[in-house]
Structure 1
């Protein structure tokens, strides 16, 4: 299990919502110290805590565990959706344009 990467991803999502560790801990009924330890990858978390976290942060379990779970096409699309969730339409269009440009470049390299 990639606890450090999981913790970093949790921290990023918490900060996107402008939540402090204290506020998040309060919302899911755990200690602030425990949230900090999870975010630093120092502690594992129970399934119950994992579910509380993803529900509170509005993310998916596979997004959070992407470094430990093998993704298929459907999961990959869900992950892409997660990356742009909460972005405005202009930012989403920019991501799409960048993806098109990158894929075009990869196609050129293959030719």
Structure 2
């Protein structure tokens, strides 16, 4: 398990939700300094703490702990951007993208 990736994703989700470290830490029942260490990948966290943080952020555990973001950062970023969209919206975005790429000769 890559704690650096977990920390980066927690930080990304926290910032996306407009939360400070202090607010997230309080809601997850941990100290702000511990949260900072988690976000920097300096400290490991227990499953219980990870679950509490995920609940506060409304993030899936799968997203927070998946091991592949650095293998394909573009795909990881796309997944992150599309996470709040419905399957119907994703299909529509995909169809529009295919059309644009077809006319722009983008591979």
Instruction: Tell whether the structures are fold-level matches, with TM greater than 0.5.
Output: yes
Unpaired runs of 5+ in structure 2?
A: 69-78
Matched, 1:84 2:82: yes
Using the TM superposition, give the Cα deviation of residue 85 of structure 1 relative to its aligned residue in structure 2, in angstroms: 3.4
Q: CA deviation at 1:30?
A: 0.7
Tell me the TM-score normalised to structure 2 length.
0.68
Residue 66 of structure 1: aligned partner:
66
Determine the C-alpha separation between the residues in 2 that align with 1:17 and 1:94.
25
Any idea what the Cα deviations from partners look like across 1:12-68, whole Å, max 9, x if unmatched?
000000000001011111100000000000001011101101111011111001117
Aligned partner of 2:2 in structure 1 is 2
TM-score (norm 1): 0.66
RMSD (Å) for aligned C-alpha atoms: 3.1
For residue 57 of structure 2, what is the aligned residue in structure 1?
57
Per the TM alignment, residue 5 of structure 1 is displaced from its structure 2 partner at its CA by 1.0
Looking at structure 2, the residues matched to 38 and 23 of structure 1 have their Cα atoms a distance apart, in angstroms, of 15
Structure 1 residues 95 and 38, CA, compared in 2 at 3 Å: closer, same or farther? farther
| CA–CA separation in structure 1 for the residues paired with 2:93 and 2:8 | 22
Change (3 A) 1:44 1:93: same
Structure 1 runs (4+) deviating above 3 angstroms are: 91-95
